[in-house]
């Protein structure tokens, strides 16, 4: 599915509003100014997700995964390279973590909290736009391969699914860390979302 420039701009603007709220929450949490870049968005069939993401992430990756249910259901994930996840935790806490300490309790808690803030802000935006309520699973953190991550996504065999990929960057302490937000939706939910976006545009 190819998004028009107007659709891309409208979705980016909506997510940017969510990111502004998320950045404010992270800034308050850490005591340091956190900025999130203006997001870039793409939509791909779920079957193309591995091919698209492996251009950007490889080896072990860190994912915060949340399943949502309701009038619209799907999966939401924050994806970071393992090294990026450790760097982000270091920037947010001001501490250094060696490879042997990687994904100790502190790092895990920080990454889950970042994922929780971002995913809930974006899904809240979806819910408000579509006037639906979601129930959320507790976010879970995984350290795995890209292929392993894709196996954890709940597939609806009855409906073609698409992945909304959001390319983003965390900026703080004169450094930046790249991350990827992936929201998997069935074609019916995606069509409904795009129609609402077009009304806003």
Query: Nearest 5 degrees, angle CA 104-CA 108-CA 112?
Result: 175
The token pair at 19 is 């990111």
The domain tally of the chain equals 1
Supply the pLDDT for residue 113.
Answer: 93
CATH of the domain at 75: 3.40.1550.10
**Which residue, 137, 123, 110, is CA-closest to 18?**
123
**Which residues lie closer than 8 Å to 99 by C-beta, 6 or more apart?**
none
Given this model, what pLDDT does residue 158 score? 60
What is the mean pLDDT for each group of 10 consecutive residues in the chain (201 residues)? 84 91 91 91 92 90 90 89 91 84 82 93 86 86 90 68 94 91 90 84 63
Check: pTM over 0.85? Answer yes or no: yes
CA dihedral (109, 69, 61, 9) positive or negative:
negative
Parent domain of 69: 5-200
């Amino acid at each position: 599915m190819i998004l028009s420039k107007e659709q891309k701009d409208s979705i980016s603007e909506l997510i940017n509003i969510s990111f502004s709220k998320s950045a404010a929450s992270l800034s308050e949490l850490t005591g340091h100014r956190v900025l999130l870049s203006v997001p870039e968005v793409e939509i791909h069939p779920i079957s193309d997700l591995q091919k698209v993401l492996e251009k950007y992430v490889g080896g072990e990756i860190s994912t915060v995964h949340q399943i949502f249910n309701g009038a619209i259901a799907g999966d939401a994930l924050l994806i970071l390279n393992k090294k990026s996840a450790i760097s982000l935790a270091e920037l947010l806490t001001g501490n250094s973590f060696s490879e042997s300490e990687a994904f100790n309790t502190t790092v895990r808690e920080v990454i889950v909290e970042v994922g929780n803030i971002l995913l809930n802000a974006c899904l809240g935006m979806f819910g408000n736009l579509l006037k639906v309520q979601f129930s959320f699973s507790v976010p879970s953190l995984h350290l795995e391969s890209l292929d392993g991550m894709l196996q954890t996504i709940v597939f609806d065999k009855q409906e073609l699914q698409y992945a909304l990929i959001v390319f983003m960057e965390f900026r703080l302490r004169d450094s930046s860390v790249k991350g990827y937000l992936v929201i998997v939706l069935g074609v019916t939910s995606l069509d409904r979302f795009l129609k609402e976006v077009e009304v806003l545009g």
